[in-house]
């Protein structure tokens, strides 16, 4: 059975997916259905739609969760980086611009050093592109799958701050900003500087 925290976080992700992908005439009804689900109904819904596999008591590590589905591209996400052990995607319910999550490719209850290095790499890129006051990294666990949150702090944001769903198009723009190469502006020398530039006389 899903915990209360897991239920609320999954509902937020589902609602954000609905708002980003469903046509307007279906959006309200689909959102209401998700909001009215209790933990058991939500878990059944996830299993029915193959967002998690039916629980296998003999091999619990093989149960696929939402994060496994994202890592295997069964659920659409905006990937911004990756390595052999994990992927980095933009959070669909971000607290701040650039808020990302690092998802181990394999279902695990302990995030690896390699995955944490990816979190640090993403943190560095966010600092370069968006200039936040700081970038905080924190791990959390849902469905027994540990992930890392990479949170840019511009003001007083924290991991318990309000999350706001955004459209896929907005996340695509954030990705473009992260990937945009910095233009190198070459300074043209002033005429005065050229006059003072010394060259040796030609040797006869």
* CATH code, 69: 3.30.428.10
- Per the CB < 8 A criterion, the answer to whether 108 and 116 are in contact is no
Q: Each residue of 127-137: b (16+ CB within 10 Å) or e?
A: eebbebeebee
Number of domains in the chain: 1
- For the question of whether the overall pTM of this predicted structure is more than 0.75, the answer is no
Does residue 86 lie within any of the structural domains? yes
Asked if residue 203 is part of any domain, the answer here is no
Asked if residue 202 belongs to a domain, the reply is no
pLDDT at residue 2, as a whole number: 67
Q: Are strands 134-142 and 86-90 parallel, antiparallel or unpaired?
A: unpaired
Q: What share of the chain is helix, strand, coil (3-state, %, to 5)?
A: 40, 15, 45
Residue 66 lies in a domain: yes
Residue 89: pLDDT band by 50, 70, 90 thresholds?
very high
CB of 96 closer than 8 Å to CB of 65: no
Query: Which range, 25-39, 112-126, 132-146, has the best average confidence (pLDDT)?
Result: 112-126
Radius of gyration over every alpha carbon of the chain, rounded to an integer in angstroms: 23
Query: Domain for residue 188, yes or no?
Result: no
Does 15 reside within a domain? yes
Q: In this structure, is residue 190 part of a structural domain?
A: no
148: pLDDT strictly greater than 90: yes
Half-sphere exposure of 138 (CA within 13 A, CB side): 10
Q: How far apart are CA 177 and CA 179, in angstroms?
A: 5
Name which residue leads in pLDDT, 170 or 34: 170
Residue 88, SS3 per DSSP: strand
Report the pLDDT value the prediction gives residue 84, as an integer from 0 to 100.
94
Average pLDDT of the segment spanning 178-190: 69
Query: What pLDDT is attached to residue 57?
Result: 44
Asked if 166 and 15 count as a contact pair (C-beta separation under 8 A), the reply is: no
SS3 label, residue 134: strand
Domain range for 72: 4-180
Query: Which of 66-70, 172-176, 196-200 is predicted with the least confidence, judged by mean pLDDT?
Result: 196-200
Distance between CA atoms of residues 122 and 178, nearest Å: 10
């Amino acid at each position: 059975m899903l915990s209360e925290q897991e239920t609320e976080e999954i509902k937020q992700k589902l609602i954000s997916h609905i708002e980003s992908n469903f046509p307007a005439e279906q959006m309200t009804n689909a959102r209401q259905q998700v909001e009215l689900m209790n933990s058991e109904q939500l878990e059944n819904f996830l299993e029915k739609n193959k967002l998690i596999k039916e629980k296998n008591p003999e091999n619990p590590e093989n149960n696929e969760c939402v994060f496994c589905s994202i890592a295997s591209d069964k659920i659409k996400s905006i990937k911004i980086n990756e390595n052999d052990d994990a992927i980095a995607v933009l959070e669909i319910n971000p607290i701040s611009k650039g808020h990302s999550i690092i998802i181990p490719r394999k279902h695990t209850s302990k995030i690896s050093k390699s995955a944490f290095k990816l979190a640090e790499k993403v943190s560095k890129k966010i600092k370069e592109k968006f200039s936040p006051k700081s970038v905080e990294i924190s791990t959390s666990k849902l469905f027994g799958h540990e992930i890392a949150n990479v949170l840019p702090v511009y003001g007083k944001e924290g991991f318990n701050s309000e999350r706001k769903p955004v459209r896929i198009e907005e996340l695509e723009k954030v990705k473009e900003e992260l990937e945009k190469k910095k233009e190198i502006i070459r300074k043209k020398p002033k005429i005065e500087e050229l006059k003072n530039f010394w060259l040796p006389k030609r040797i006869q």
